[in-house]
Amino acid sequence: MSSASSSKSLSSGICYLVGAGPGDPGLLTLKGKACIEKADVLVYDYLSNPAFLRFARPDAEKIYVGKKARDHAMKQEDINALIVKLTREGKVVTRLKGGDPVLFGRGAEEAAELAEAGVRFELVPGITSAIAGPAYAGIPVTHRNHASQLTIFTGHEDPTKPETALNYAKLAQADGTKVFLMGVERMEEITNALIQHGANPDTPMALVRWATHGGQRTLVATLSTMAQRVRETGFKAPAVAVVGDVVTEREAINWFENRPLFGKRIVVTRTRQQAGELTRELVDLGADVIEVPTIRIEEPKDRRGFAELVKDAHTYDWLIFTSPNGVEAFFHWFYQLYQDARSIGGVKIAAIGPGTAKKIREYRLAVDLMPEKDFVAEGLVQAFKDREDVENQTMLWIKAEETREVIANELTGLRAIVDEAIAYRTVPEREENLEALARIKAEGADVITFTSASTVDHFMALGVDLPAGTQIASIGPVTSEAVRRHGLEPAIEADPHTIPGLVAAVKQLLDA
Ligand code: SAH
């Protein structure tokens, strides 16, 4: 236990029962996100998107409690006991549940346990798969022309057993749209029961699997043919079933599955903190992105030494930045040491490429020098050569521990005086990527993207064999070289060597 949490008074404990939405990260509520950000402990299951863990504090404890129909990683009683115990210890506990916490989510039972234990809790509703799932398949659950009523029921109970809590006679007669969850495995019994009790066998029906995720799949049939279609196609849970004339609307408004990269599985290998932009752009185009965080940014071993150099930054002629991480580390320390932006003095600033320059501008500083197109060390050296004689110019290069020495060697060769400030190191990320690696192995991938030589090396160090047919997209020549060192060949190299350039390259590759 960290000293921060052990010093908390007991009354500070609270448990948030948060609906994490159906999967698309954009469908988490602002309140849900705030609960993740302030959590001491996150308790989550398999239907809640692991991407949300990125919002958590780095020191937050993360507990996976599983929950697929058959592989209960933890029993419901144990989950209840766990959240009560953690909350009692004075912790802020955020319990993430797929969809909405009280729609077949047993959120009410967890709330009741917390209430009985006398600890504080809040229910934070979420977007349910029962409505969002069909919507992402182009199916509105109500519609002026087709349905003014919606019935939601569970498909978990066996309708052929006498003790079922559902009245299929009434369900079958209900007007409007019917949605059922957890029903893939009993499709035959459920559809038969509805038909036997008078539902029209020709009613259109759809199943939406992993709705709102990049890997969403939709199967359309009728009430009488769906069970057979499920068998034929090997369609699996988790899926939302929707029955009713509203299904026909899909022909006109199937928006999600019609985006350019829909159905393409793309692996993004970056640090957790950085994966954002690339993932977002690919997801916006409809791709099914699997993030494999291979590396993590840590403070340099010699923090003091770095801080000293940052303190002296204003005494140099040039500051050279070669990564957004370096910019962040530099200004983190700079504003610990100084209160006034003018403390940076008249130093000129060089950036290796647009991503780094963008980060510098976020700190409201202009970039004096950047390569026109080769956003690599050689390009930066060339840009200096083209600009001016650097003899006797003093330069502070803010870099990663493992960066190639090209910049220092070449600029020193031009008689500049270069000091190196090691701002951070990249270390292998071992947590949290096991699930992603298992998915790649099981389902394969269309493209894997690499955005730096070190991510290539770190990914290869994880020891995963790329599934046959996976193509490699590299951000630039240095990264491509690293790929070749591992005996592989990039199918495409981005030009320009930027994230948008890489996204364009992936599109081109998949269009071909
Ligand atoms: N509380 C959840 C439902 C939990 S019951 C909610 O409001 O969405 C679990 C069932 O929900 C699954 O068996 C499946 O039928 C459905 N489900 C949840 N998320 C889903 C998704 N992204 N795609 C398809 N079905 C989903």
The model's pLDDT over 125-147, given as tens digits with 9 standing for 90+, comes to 999 999 999 999 999 999 999 99
Atom of ligand 1 lying closest to residue 216 CA: 23
67 is catalytic: yes
- If you take atom 13 of ligand 1, which residue's CA is the nearest one? 182
Over residues 222-239, mean pLDDT: 97
Which of these, 248, 241, 243, 292, lies nearest to 470 by C-alpha position?
A: 292
What does the pLDDT read at residue 8?
44
Q: Compute the distance between CA of residue 189 and CA of residue 225 in angstroms, rounded to an integer.
A: 12
359 is catalytic: no
Over residues 315-328, mean pLDDT: 95
Cα of 289 vs centre of ligand 1, distance in Å, is 20
DSSP string, 340-361: -GGGGTT-EEEESSHHHHHHHH
What does the pLDDT read at residue 305?
95
Q: Which residues contact 429 (CB under 8 A, 6 or more apart)?
A: 271, 272, 293, 294, 295, 296, 458
Which position has the token pair 């998949």? 510
Percent of the chain with pLDDT over 90: 74
Over residues 271-278, mean pLDDT: 70
Q: Which amino acid is at 14?
A: I
* Strand intervals (E) in 411-470: 417-428, 447-450
Q: Which residues contact 71 (CB under 8 A, 6 or more apart)?
A: none
Q: Per residue in 406-462, pLDDT tens?
A: 999 999 999 999 999 999 998 877 666 777 888 888 889 999 999 988 889 888 888
DSSP string, 4-47: HHHTS-GGG-EEEEEE-BSS-GGGS-HHHHHHHHT-SEEEE-TT
* CA torsion through residues 497, 499, 500, 502, sign: positive
Q: Which amino acid is at 52?
A: F
Query: Which pLDDT band, with edges at 50, 70 and 90, does 68 fall under?
Result: low
What does the pLDDT read at residue 431?
63
Active-site entry in 24, 40, 67, 446: 67
Mean pLDDT of the chain: 91
- If you take atom 16 of ligand 1, which residue's CA is the nearest one? 181
pLDDT at 34 over 50: yes
- If you take atom 18 of ligand 1, which residue's CA is the nearest one? 129
Which position has the token pair 């569970």? 154
Active-site entry in 182, 187, 205, 370: 182
**Phi, psi of 358, rounded to the nearest 5 degrees:** -60, -45
pLDDT at 190 over 50: yes
Atom of ligand 1 lying closest to residue 97 CA: 1
What does the pLDDT read at residue 427?
81
Q: What would the two tokens of residue 398 be?
A: 């803010």
Is the pLDDT higher at 280 or at 491? Answer: 491
- If you take atom 11 of ligand 1, which residue's CA is the nearest one? 181
Atom of ligand 1 lying closest to residue 180 CA: 15
Pocket of ligand 1 (CB under 6 A): 22-23, 47, 98-100, 103-105, 128-130, 133, 181-182, 208-213, 237-240
Q: To test the ligand 1 pocket, which listed residue (230, 240, 288) has its Cβ within 8 A of the most ligand atoms?
A: 240
Chain mean position to CA 50:
7
Q: Compute the distance between CA of residue 284 and CA of residue 9 in angstroms, rounded to an integer.
A: 44
What does the pLDDT read at residue 364?
94
Is the pLDDT higher at 465 or at 17? Answer: 17
Query: Which pLDDT band, with edges at 50, 70 and 90, does 269 fall under?
Result: confident
Which of these, 93, 101, 104, 105, lies nearest to 124 by C-alpha position?
A: 101
- Most confident range, picked from 30-34, 160-164, 468-472: 30-34
Query: Which pLDDT band, with edges at 50, 70 and 90, does 7 fall under?
Result: very low
Domains of the chain by start residue, with CATH: 11-126 (3.40.1010.10), 131-258 (3.30.950.10), 265-294+429-511 (3.40.50.10090), 298-427 (3.40.50.10090)
- If you take atom 25 of ligand 1, which residue's CA is the nearest one? 239
pLDDT at 216 over 90: yes
- If you take atom 6 of ligand 1, which residue's CA is the nearest one? 99
Atom of ligand 1 lying closest to residue 183 CA: 15
From the number of C-beta atoms within 10 Å of its C-beta (0-12, 13-18, 19+), residue 157 rates as middle
Cα of 99 vs centre of ligand 1, distance in Å, is 6
* pTM summary value: 0.75
Helix, strand, coil share (%) of the chain residues, nearest 5 = 40, 20, 40
Over residues 79-108, mean pLDDT: 95
Q: Per residue in 353-393, pLDDT tens?
A: 999 999 999 999 999 999 998 899 999 999 999 998 999 99
From the number of C-beta atoms within 10 Å of its C-beta (0-12, 13-18, 19+), residue 142 rates as middle
Residues in the chain: 512
Q: To test the ligand 1 pocket, which listed residue (72, 179, 181) has its Cβ within 8 A of the most ligand atoms?
A: 181
CB contact at 8 A, 203 and 181: no
Which position has the token pair 């890997």? 215
Q: Compute the distance between CA of residue 405 and CA of residue 62 in angstroms, rounded to an integer.
A: 39
**Phi, psi of 122, rounded to the nearest 5 degrees:** -135, 145
Q: What would the two tokens of residue 156 be?
A: 């978990």
Query: Which pLDDT band, with edges at 50, 70 and 90, does 1 fall under?
Result: very low
Residue 267 per-residue DSSP state: E
Q: Compute the distance between CA of residue 38 and CA of residue 253 in angstroms, rounded to an integer.
A: 38
Q: What would the two tokens of residue 50 be?
A: 């692991």
Cα of 165 vs centre of ligand 1, distance in Å, is 20
Least confident segment among 42-46, 145-149, 175-179, 314-318:
42-46
Atom of ligand 1 lying closest to residue 210 CA: 23
Cα of 81 vs centre of ligand 1, distance in Å, is 24
Pairing verdict, β 318-321 and 295-298: unpaired
Q: Which residues contact 108 (CB under 8 A, 6 or more apart)?
A: 102
Cα of 488 vs centre of ligand 1, distance in Å, is 40
Query: Which pLDDT band, with edges at 50, 70 and 90, does 9 fall under?
Result: very low
Cα of 12 vs centre of ligand 1, distance in Å, is 32
Over residues 397-407, mean pLDDT: 90
Q: Compute the distance between CA of residue 495 and CA of residue 511 in angstroms, rounded to an integer.
A: 17
pLDDT at 2 over 50: no
Q: Which residues contact 210 (CB under 8 A, 6 or more apart)?
A: 23, 216, 217, 238, 239
**Phi, psi of 13, rounded to the nearest 5 degrees:** -70, 140
